[in-house]
Amino acid sequence: ADLTFLTVPDGVISVVAAEIAAPGPALREHAVVHCAASLGPEALGALRRIGADVGVLHPLQALAGAGSADLLRGSYFRVEADGRLEADLLQLVDALGGQRIVVPESGRAVYHAAAVLVASGSVALLDRAVALFEAAGVARDVARPALAALLHGAAANARAGDPAAALTGPAVRGDAATIAAHLRALAPYPDARDLYVMLAVETARLAGRDVAELGLAVAPMPQVA
């Protein structure tokens, strides 16, 4: 069967699917796949009802444009599809050297939120750190690649195994004096200071350190069961 990837914004997937389905039986031997993280095959229900195979192939990867395509190799993919189409999509994942990630229907939105937290959140965090480097007197064209290399190293450490073993910094060492110095230095940048405290608290907890002894007092973040 012919295979079409529907790469449109999440909010219009069902609308576009209905438009594609308008010709009716002509698409009976066709397969249509969308790439939305938080939606399932049911978003293509209009196509399924006329006999087309439908599914989802969501690459768990930060694809910012055509130049990011090489990042697909070795990535994880959420695959949901009708029988024979599922086999075809898994074959495609295998050809890319990827792995399948299975997400229950009830967990799709949380799965997507977690992915956004890492993909976009890390970039936003990097940009905030670049601004602080500039405030410290480091040129922006040096700050960004330098911090990107640091982020790459942290991600490599995290991927290697135990998250706690990948941690570095004063919160991990129990260095309250350095944390206090950081907080004083960040006083002119209250938003960055709040972000520092929030992340330092999570780092300390992950490292098994006493948050209060480090001078970090914030409301606890809700825990996910």
Radius of gyration for the alpha carbons in the chain, expressed in angstroms and rounded: 22
**Each residue's pLDDT tens digit in the chain (225 positions)?**
689 999 999 999 999 999 988 877 767 778 999 999 999 999 999 999 998 999 999 999 998 877 888 889 999 999 999 889 999 999 999 999 999 999 999 999 999 999 999 999 999 999 999 999 999 999 999 999 999 999 999 999 888 878 888 899 999 999 999 999 999 999 999 999 999 999 999 999 999 999 998 988 654 445 555
Q: CB within 8 A of 94, min separation 6: which ones?
A: none
Give the Cα-Cα-Cα angle 177, 178, 179 (nearest 5 degrees). 90
Show me where the domains of the chain are located.
2-102, 105-160, 162-225
Q: Which residues pair with 80 in a beta bridge?
A: 56
Spatial distance between the Cα atoms of 108 and 40, rounded to a whole number of angstroms: 8
Spatial distance between the Cα atoms of 35 and 59, rounded to a whole number of angstroms: 7
Spatial distance between the Cα atoms of 93 and 35, rounded to a whole number of angstroms: 13
Instruction: State pTM to two decimals.
Output: 0.84
Q: Which tokens in the block code for residue 120?
A: 């976009």
Give the Cα-Cα-Cα angle 27, 31, 36 (nearest 5 degrees). 125
Give the number of other Cβ atoms within 10 Å of residue 162's Cβ. Answer: 10
Cα 211–chain centre separation: 27
Spatial distance between the Cα atoms of 4 and 32, rounded to a whole number of angstroms: 5
Per CATH, domain 2-102 is 3.40.50.80: no
DSSP character string of 99-148: EEE---GGGHHHHHHHHHHHHHHHHHHHHHHHHHHHHTT--HHHHHHHHH
Q: Which tokens in the block code for residue 191?
A: 């938003």
